[in-house]
Amino acid sequence: MKKIIFISCIMIFFSACKQDKENQKDKISVQTAEIKPVKLKEEYENYRIYTPDSIGLTLKDFDVNYSHRIGNNIVAVVYDLLDNGESNNGDMDHDWGDRLLYLNNKNEIIYKAKGVGDPFMYKPYFFKNDKNGNIIVICQLGYEYAYGGDVYLIKNDTIKQIGNIDLESIDPEVFMVNMVNIKESDKAIVFTFNSDSLILKPGSEHIRIKNNNTRYEYRNNSFKLIK
C-alpha cells in the first residue's frame, strides 16, 4: 500500500513539473511576441553653401549669363532666343528664354532644362553635401520681386531637375536662397527656411503663413511642400 502511495506521489510530482514547464514556455512565448522592432531615426547630413569657379564660356546661339565648372563638367545659365525670333527648339510659346545647361569637358550639351521665359533674374546658387559629393543648384527667379526657384540635383556627374520652390520671405530684401537650409538622409533631401513667416506662391496668390516647420522634401523621386 505504501509502495502504491509512493509511486502515486512521484507521478503527481513529475506531472506538476511538466505543467510548470509548459506554463513557463507559454509565458516566454507571450513575452517574445510583445517585442516590437525599434524604428531608427533618420540621420541627416547638412549641405553647405558652395561657390564653384566661374569660367568664361561662349556658346553658339546662346547668350551665356552664368557659367561655373563642377569637376569636369559645366553648369551654365543661358538665354536661348535666336536673333530671328525663333527659339532653339521651335517651341516659342512654352520653352524659350533663360534656362540651365549642363555640359561635358568638350563643351557638349548633355542636359538642357526647359526655358523659363525672360525673368529679370535666373541666377544659380550652389549647395554641397561633403559626405557624398551631391550638389544642389537652386536658380533664383525674380522680376521686381523674387518668386522662388528651380531646384536641380547633381549626382555622380549627372543632373536632373527635382522640383520648384514656390515660396519667399516676407522681407523683400531677403531672397529664398538666402534663408534656405538643406539636409540629406539616405531617404530624403529636406529644404527648410530661416524665417518666422513665409509667402507661398509669391506673385500670384501671395499667401502669408506662419513657418511651423514648413519645408519641401524630395523623397521617392517626389518633391512635395509640407506645412
- DSSP H helices in 107-189: none
Please state, in angstroms and rounded to a whole number, the distance separating the CA atoms of residues 99 and 59.
13
pLDDT tens string 51-87: 999 999 999 989 999 999 999 999 999 998 654 455 5
Please state the domain extents for the chain: 45-226
pLDDT tens string 125-173: 999 999 999 999 999 999 989 999 999 999 999 999 999 999 999 999 9
Q: How many Cα atoms occupy the beta-carbon half-sphere of 185 within 13 Å?
A: 12
Average pLDDT of the chain?
Answer: 85
| Three cell numbers, residue 29 | 512565448
| Three cell numbers, residue 132 | 557624398
Please state, in angstroms and rounded to a whole number, the distance separating the CA atoms of residues 177 and 168.
9
